[in-house]
Amino acid sequence: MIRRLIELLALTAAGGSAALALDAEPLQLIGGAGTGAMVWLMIDQHRLGRFRDWLRQGHPAAAPNLPDDWTELVERSQKGFKLLQRETRKVEDRLQQLIAAFEASPNGLLVLDSAERIILCNQAGADHLGFDVKRDLGQHLRNLVRDPAFIAYLNGADYSQPVEIQMRALAGAQPSRISLQLHAYGFGNKLLLTRDITSFELADTMRRDFVANVSHEIRTPLTVLSGFIETLLSYDLSAEERERYLLLMNQQSQRMMTLVNDLLLLSRLEGTPAPGTAEWISAHELLDHVIEDGRVLSDLIADGSHDICADAGPDFELAGSRTELLSAMSNLLSNAVRYTPAGGRIRAGWRRLAPGGAEYWVSDTGPGIESEHIPRLTERFYRVDRSRSRDTGGTGLGLAIVKHVVQRHGGQLRIDSVVGQGSTFRILLPASRIRSLDAPVAAALSA
């Protein structure tokens, strides 16, 4: 400030001196001093303009070179700029974290203004409601989601409960069920939360179907047992009739026992960790056991008229649960026996696959399966031919058990079938669960 005053006085004196040197009149002398003051004012305004321009730029590194009197202002402004930049970076970092969390949410989040225009929207919300995030920002939500139930919900004042709408699916996809709930905040703004509940509804439907199917499957043999017991108690039967009824009752009780055992096995498969690689089992040993069970079943239901043969291939070992693998392999072979007419041919065996894995396969000459049934064969209690399955002792849970066992061993279940020619079921196991037998070990096993 002192320097500025000195500059003002110096320029004023210089103007007066110049007028005095020219023998100017007193008024001219005053005018010369005023001219010096005006020059100083113009110079000072220029410096002020440079300082103001620098403030507008807001960049501390580009400070103007000004005289000492301006230095303190420049330095204080630089410190203010730096502090403001640090605070701005903190706010930006927090904003980026908030946006990242906003986008990472598996649920949809939409911010609406008082006119119900979309201010912000994450990708999940756009996917749920079927619009484009960039293109549709600023659009009225009513123009994008025209479901009558949602429009009525939007027009109402009670947002305490969500509303559910059905969204049309793209080609080749399943329709989705979306839950939406509004939350009002601020001055007329709204937060819309969306959630895809399709899987929950499917799970609930499967649960209801499962309970209904189990009830039906158990009720049938119980009804038969109840009728036979009432007959035995109400009538004086001959020894032959009594024995026949008791045999039929035994069949129904065995059917219920098989059903309960399969349900318990499914529950155990779903509730226990996947088997490790500590236990190794010979592929030939498993196959021999399964083939023997298949022949016993053929003797019971078709007087042993099926032509059941094994194609063992080279022996090797599998890592996993012996009980589970036997159950899966036996289920595939027993299904082939049940659905192949008497006199039909059934083949089962192992083969090694090129990447190092292995494949267990069962092929039959039965009636085959129509293509629309194949995707649903592993559903619980799903049967292509219900009457034949029950007649031959099937519970409708065999392929569901196979699927769970295969998945627990890291494998895949594949089904190929041609109507009128037969079916082939294959279990593919990964290389991590297969190991070749050393020559001495193989010789000892074969001996």
| pLDDT at 440 (0 to 100) | 45
Dihedral over alpha carbons 30, 32, 36, 38 (to 10 degrees): 80
Do 173 and 134 belong together in one domain? yes
What is the β-pairing status of strands 176-185 and 108-112? unpaired
Residue 230: inside a domain = no
Residues 312, 321: Cα–Cα separation, whole Å: 20
User: 3-state class of 341 per DSSP?
Assistant: coil
Given its phi and psi angles, is residue 216 left (phi above 0), alpha (psi -120 to 50 degrees) or beta? Answer: alpha
Phi-psi region of 381 (alpha: psi -120 to 50; beta: other; left: phi over 0): left
Q: Which residues pair with 309 in a beta bridge?
A: 347
pLDDT at residue number 439: 46
430 and 282 in a single domain? The answer is: yes
Are residue 288 and residue 420 in the same domain, yes or no? Answer: yes
Asked if 58 and 30 touch (Cβ cutoff 8 Å), the reply is: no
Mean pLDDT of the chain: 80
The alpha helices in 193-238, defined as continuous H runs, are: 198-234
Is 169 within a domain? yes
Q: How many domains does the chain have?
A: 3
- Residue 190 neighbours by CB under 8 Å, 6+ apart: 111, 112, 116, 182, 183, 184
In a domain, 139, yes or no: yes
- The answer to whether 228 touches 249, Cβ cutoff 8 Å, is yes
**Residue 291 in 3-state DSSP?**
helix
Q: Report which DSSP code applies to 117.
A: B
Query: Would you give the distance in Å from CA 114 to the centre of its chain?
Result: 34
Classify residue 22: in a domain, yes or no: yes
The whole-angstrom separation of Cα 28 and Cα 58 is: 45
Count CB neighbours of 92 within 10 A. 10
| CA dist 217 → 187, 220, 381, 401 (Å) | 59, 6, 9, 17
Last residue of a domain, which of 95, 126, 145? 95
Last residue of a domain, one of 197, 219, 239: 197
Please name every residue paired with 110 in a beta bridge, in sequence order, or none if there are none.
121, 192
**Nearest by Cα to 368 from 426, 419, 333, 425:** 419
pLDDT at residue 393, rounded to an integer: 56
| Structural contact between residues 169 and 130, judged by C-beta atoms closer than 8 angstroms | no
What values do phi and psi take at 199, rounded to 5? Answer: -65, -35
H/E stretch holding 179 reads: strand 176-185
Residues 299 and 425 in one domain: yes
What value does the CA radius of gyration of the chain take, rounded to a whole number of Å? 43
Q: Mark out the alpha helices in 130-197 (DSSP H runs).
A: 133-136, 141-144, 148-155
Residue (of 372, 370, 427, 376) closest to 400 by Cα position: 376
Q: Are residues 136 and 10 in the same domain?
A: no
Cα 343 from chain centre = 47
Distance CA 348, CA 310 (A): 5
Q: Is residue 227 part of a domain?
A: no
85 with 109, same domain?
Answer: no
327 in the same domain as 185: no
Spans of the chain, pLDDT less than 50:
1, 16, 19-20, 22, 24, 29, 171-172, 439-447
Residue 28 lies in a domain: yes
CATH of the domain at 410: 3.30.565.10
Tokens of 242: 């009594």
Residues 6+ positions from 147 with CB-CB distance below 8 Å = 165, 166
Same domain? 167 vs 83: no
Q: Which of 66, 95, 124 is the last residue of a domain?
A: 95
H or E element that contains 79: helix 68-104
Q: What is the pLDDT of residues 336-391, one digit of tens each?
A: 998 899 889 999 999 999 888 999 999 999 999 998 888 888 888 887 765 555 55
Let me know whether 145 and 63 are in one domain: no
Residue 416 CA, chain-centre distance (Å), reads 28
Report whether 217 contacts 381 (CB < 8 A). yes
Asked if 187 and 311 sit in the same domain, the reply is no
Q: Are residues 292 and 409 in the same domain?
A: yes
pLDDT at 447: 47
Q: Which domain holds residue 88?
A: 1-95
Q: What pLDDT, on a 0 to 100 scale, did the predictor assign at position 3?
A: 55
- Co-location of 279 and 372 in the same domain: yes
- The residue among 321, 283, 350, 282 whose CA lies nearest residue 410 is 321
Does 34 map to a domain?
yes
Considering only the C-alpha atoms of the chain, give the largest distance between any 2 of them, rounded to a whole number of Å: 160
What letter would DSSP give residue 140? B
**How far is 62 from 55, CA to CA, in rounded Å?**
10
Beta strands in 34-162 (DSSP E): 108-112, 118-121
Structure tokens, 357: 């894995």
Q: What is the CATH number of the domain that holds 179?
A: 3.30.450.20
Using a 10 angstrom Cβ sphere, with 0-12 exposed, 13-18 middle and 19 or more buried, the burial of residue 188 is exposed
443 belongs to a structural domain: no
* 226-277 residue pLDDT tens: 888 888 888 888 888 888 889 888 888 888 888 888 888 888 887 788 888 8
